[in-house]
Amino acid sequence: MTQHLVYILECGDGSLYTGYTTDLVKRIDEHNNSTRGARYTSGRRPVVLKHHERYASRGAALSREAEIKRLSRAAKLALCCD
């Protein structure tokens, strides 16, 4: 069964990045080491995983990703500290 994950990364400049993946380890490696990472994180390396959530469906995960992206920085940091 495929896992659907939403994650928050802290970038080298202190900013936060939210994304979706089905393979968290591979995706973080892409953000840090390859040209396949997001354009946003490519100039802000290294990135560190701060938070992740698992969902049963792609749709639920993408909805949650959109919800998190609308949150303030403070609210995102509060998620990371739970």
What's the pLDDT tens digit per position in 18-45? 999 999 999 999 999 987 777 889 889 9
What are 55-65's pLDDT values in tens digits? 999 999 999 99
4-81 folds as GIY-YIG endonuclease (3.40.1440)
Tokens coding 33: 């080491």
What pLDDT is attached to residue 82? 66
Neighbours of 35 (CB within 10 A): 7
Q: Compute the distance between CA of residue 54 and CA of residue 79 in angstroms, rounded to an integer.
A: 14
Q: Compute the distance between CA of residue 67 and CA of residue 27 in angstroms, rounded to an integer.
A: 20
Q: Compute the distance between CA of residue 68 and CA of residue 71 in angstroms, rounded to an integer.
A: 5
What pLDDT is attached to residue 44? 92
71 pLDDT tier (thresholds 50, 70, 90)? very high
Asked if 53 contacts 5 with a C-beta cutoff of 8 angstroms, the reply is: yes
